[in-house]
Amino acid sequence: VFLLSLLGWFPMACVSSLSSCRRLLPSALFLRAPLAACHSRHMCSSSSEKEDMSRLGEFTTLAITRPRPFVVQVELNRPEKLNAMNRAFWKEMVECFQLLARDENCRSVVLSAAGKHFTAGIDLMDFAGFFGEMSADIKEGDDTARRAMRLHRVIAEMQETFTVIERCPKPVVAAVHGACVGGGVDMISACDVRYCSSNAFFQIKEVDLGLAADVGTLQRLPKIVGNDSLVRELAYTCDRLQAERAMQVGLVSKICSDAESTRTAALELAERIAERSPVAVQGTKVNLNYSRDNPTARALDYQALWNAGMLQTEDLVRATMAHMSKEKAVFSKL
C-alpha cells in the first residue's frame, strides 16, 4: 500500500476500506473485462503455440510433463545409459528451454532424471564417433587455426546447451539423485535452485579425461559456492563432493532422503514459485543474474530501469489487493 501511494496510485486515507480503495484507484488498474472473455483469450492458443507444445513431446533424450499448475518437469530420459549426454541431448536441451522460455503456461521448471543416477556426464562412445567424423571432414592441408576455429564453434554450441537454462526467464529447480558427474555439474550450475538426495555426489570429471571443463562449471561454480580453494581442489583432483558437504558449501539448499522425495520437494518449490506474479519472479531472476555478472552500481541502475517499466504491471495491484483481503492472488499469463 505504501509503495502504491508513492506511485500516486493508492491514497493512504483509503486503507481502512478495501471497497473504497477499489473506487479510488484508477479504473484502468483493474481488469473490468469479463472473466469469461479473459479465459477465452487464454484458451485460444495460436497455431505456433500449439506447434511449440507438440515439439516438446518429440524429444528422444528428455521427457516433458506438467505435474503441477504452471510447472513443467524436464526429465533426463536415458536411464539405461545413466542419462549420459549424447549428441541428441545437447541439441534437445537448447530447443526445450527455448520453447519453455516463451511458454505462457510455464512459470517454473523442475530438472530431474530417470533411473538410478542423475547423469554420468558426456556420452564418451557417442562423442568418440563424433570426433572421428569431424577428423574425417578436415581437409588435407588445413592448418591448426582452421581446425581450431571449427572446434571452437562446436564448443560454443555445447556451452549454449546449459547457458539456455540460465537465460530462460523461468526459475529452474534441479532435483539431483545419485551421481552427478562431469557435464551434470555444468548443467546444475546453470540452474537457479538445487536440491539433492542423501546419496547424491558431484564430480568435476574432466581432468581425468585429459581436458579442462569447458561448458560452465569453471565459470559458474566458484560464484555459487564462494570458495575458490574448494573449487580448484575438486577440479584438479576430480574428487567427489558428497551431498552433506555440498549442502555445507552452498551448492545445494536442501537434502532429501531419496530420489522420489527430492523430486517431490523440487515440485513443491516450483509450484510455490509458479503461484507468484510471473512478472515479479522473472524480473527477479533476470536482475539476480545481471547483478552477479556486473558491478553493484551498474546493477542498481539496471534494476531501476527495469522496474521503471515493470512497476506499472497489473500484478502489483492484484498482489496488494489479495494481501489486504487475505485471498490468493490470481495472475494473468505472461
pLDDT digits (tens, 9 = 90+) for 162-213: 999 999 999 999 999 999 999 999 999 999 999 999 999 999 999 999 999 9
* pLDDT for 135: 63
Average pLDDT of the residues in 106-112: 98
206 is catalytic: yes
Active-site residue, selected from the candidate residues 75, 103, 192, 206: 206
Closest CA to 190 of 210, 218, 212, 209: 218
Active-site residue, selected from the candidate residues 64, 75, 122, 273: 122
* pLDDT for 38: 42
Active-site residue, selected from the candidate residues 92, 103, 123, 186: 186
pTM of the model: 0.84
214 is catalytic: yes
Active-site residue, selected from the candidate residues 183, 184, 216, 283: 183
Active-site residue, selected from the candidate residues 52, 160, 214, 239: 214
Asked whether the beta carbons of 213 and 159 are under 8 A apart, the reply is: no
Looking at the DSSP assignment, which residues form a beta bridge with residue 203? 181, 240
Per-residue pLDDT at 18 exceeds 80: no
Grid cell for residue 279? 512478472
For residues 254 and 66, what is the distance between their CA atoms, to the nearest angstrom?
23
Alpha helices in 206-277 (DSSP H): 217-225, 228-237, 243-249, 259-274
Tell me which amino acid residue 279 is: V
Phi-psi label, residue 82: left if phi above 0, alpha if psi -120 to 50, beta otherwise? left
* pLDDT for 19: 42
Per-residue pLDDT at 136 exceeds 70: no
pLDDT band at 28 (very low <50, low <70, confident <90, very high): very low
Average pLDDT of the residues in 295-304: 98
183 is catalytic: yes
pLDDT band at 142 (very low <50, low <70, confident <90, very high): confident
